[in-house]
Amino acid sequence: MRVIAVANQKGGVGKTTTAINLGTALAAVGRRVLVMDCDAQGNASTGLGVEPTARRKTSYDVLVGEATLEEGIIGTKVPHLDLVPGDENLAGVETLLHSDPKKNFRLREAFEAYRATGKDYDTVLIDCPPSLSTVTINAMVAANAVLVPLQCEFLALEGLSQLLRTVDLVRGALNPGLEIQGVVLTMYDKRNNLSDQVAGEVRSFFGQKVYQTVIPRNVKLSEAPSFGLPAILYDHRCSGSEAYIMLAQELMQRERERVAA
C-alpha cells in the first residue's frame, strides 16, 4: 500500500482534480485505489459523485477517532476506486485536536489499524486541504510520499519553500521515510508564454522530480465534477483525461524504478 499525500497549501492549484483523475487512471489499469478526501469543502467527494447525504462517516470521523478507516470507506461509480468522504467538520480538527499529544499520528494509526485487519489498497491518494494544518501534517505523517501539483501561473513557486520546509520537518521529526513523489505542472496553457516560463522555472528548481507529463488547461476537467464524474469517465478522450492517464503511467514507471533500485 503506497500512500501519497496530494498537497500544496495554495488553493486552486489542482490538488483535487489530480487526486480524482490520477486515482481513476490508476484504477482503470486495475490498481485498487482509495481516495481520502481530507478537505472540508468535500470537492473530491462531490467530484466522485458522492453527495453530502451519502457521506455517513468521513475522514473527520477517522481523524478524531469516531470511526475506523474501514467504517469510513465507501464505493464509488469508478470500479476499483473507493472513497473516504470529506465534510465541513474537517475545518474543526485543528481546534479539537489542539492539545492532543498524538494529534499528528491520527491518520497513520488509522492506516496501521486497517492494515492489521489484512486489508489494503495498492494506492491511497490523500486530497489535502489548502493549508499546512494538522490535517495536512496527518496526511504527511501517514504517507510514503508527497505529490505536489503546481499551477502554471505567476507566483507558482511562491509559498513552495514553506511547503518543502514542512516536508523536511515531518521527515526529520515524525516520518523519516517521507519522499517527494513528484511535482506535477497543472493548468498549462500552451498559448500563454507565462506557462512555459513557469514550467521552465519549476524544472530548473526541481529537476527530475517534475513529471514529464504536464496537465493542460482543459475545460472538461473543470466541467466533469458538476456531473459527479472523473473527467476520465466524462470524456476519456479530452486532453485533460489523456494527460492524467499519462501521468498515471509515469507514476507507475517511477515506482517500478524505485522498487528496482
- The residues of the shown chain that bind ligand ADP, judged by CB under 6 A, are 11-17, 43, 130, 186-187, 215, 217-218, 221-222, 225, 240
Beta carbon nearer to ligand ADP, 104 or 213: 213
Beta carbon nearer to ligand ADP, 138 or 186: 186
Q: Are 228 and 48 in contact (CB under 8 A)?
A: yes
Collapsing DSSP to helix, strand or coil, 126 comes out as strand
Q: At what angle do helices 106-116 and 134-142 cross, to 10 degrees?
A: 40
Choose the binding region for Mg ion from 26-34, 43-51, 187-195, 212-220 (rule: CB under 5 A). 43-51
User: Minimum Å distance from CB 71 to ligand ADP?
Assistant: 25
Residue 222's binding partner, choosing from ligand ADP, Mg ion, none, with beta-carbon cut-off 5 to 8 A by kind? ligand ADP
Collapsing DSSP to helix, strand or coil, 113 comes out as helix
Q: Are 196 and 161 in contact (CB under 8 A)?
A: no
Question: Does the footprint of Mg ion cover residue 241 (CB under 5 A)?
Answer: no
**The residue count for the chain:** 261
Beta carbon nearer to Mg ion, 7 or 167: 7
State the Cα–Cα distance between residues 175 and 142, nearest whole angstrom: 8
Beta carbon nearer to Mg ion, 18 or 114: 18
Residues sharing a CB contact under 8 Å with residue 72, sequence separation 6 or more, in sequence order: 57, 58, 59, 61, 62, 84, 85
Residue 108's binding partner, choosing from Mg ion, ligand ADP, none, with beta-carbon cut-off 5 to 8 A by kind? none
C-alpha cell at 9: 497549501
User: Minimum Å distance from CB 11 to ligand ADP?
Assistant: 4
Give the residue among 195, 225, 171, 260 at the shortest CA–CA distance from 47. 225
Beta carbon nearer to ligand ADP, 43 or 67: 43
Q: Which of residues 12-31 bind Mg ion (CB under 5 A)?
A: 15-16
Q: Give residues in contact with Mg ion (CB under 5 A).
A: 15-16, 39, 43
